[in-house]
Amino acid sequence: MKLMTKTIQRQAEKQYEQGSDMNQKVVAKYFNPAGTGTWYLMNTEPGSDYAWGIVNLFDIEMGSFSINELESISLPFGLKIERDMYFEPMKAKDVWDRLNRGEHV
């Protein structure tokens, strides 16, 4: 599965100047189908592999992650990190607040 479609790339690059501003939208959600790990993409520098967003791995935090690295992860049973194809973009602050309340996003 391609994690970064052209549409997602365009949306994420458009928000690059917003940095860590929580008023921007999360444009994509990536998850580990075999266990822990969810990455919520907010923005990316044009031409860069590194993305900025909310990461729910061992704790909920905001930071950078590599799309190429996510795509290269090999999980049990031949699984890979997947993109939630049904995720609708939503404000980063809403994602952050819901995760910190223990809600599923």
Q: What is the pLDDT along the chain (105 residues), one digit of tens a residue?
A: 899 999 999 999 999 999 999 999 999 999 999 999 999 999 999 999 999 999 999 999 999 999 999 999 999 999 999 999 999 999 999 999 999 999 999
Q: Nearest 5 degrees, angle CA 75-CA 104-CA 59?
A: 65
Which one, of 22, 33, 87, lies nearest residue 60 by Cα?
Answer: 22
DSSP state of 42: E
At residue 74, the pLDDT reads 95
What is the per-residue burial (b if ≥16 Cβ within 10 Å, else e) of 63-77? eebebeebeeeeeee
pTM, entire model? 0.96
Indicate the helix (H) or strand (E) that contains 103.
Answer: none
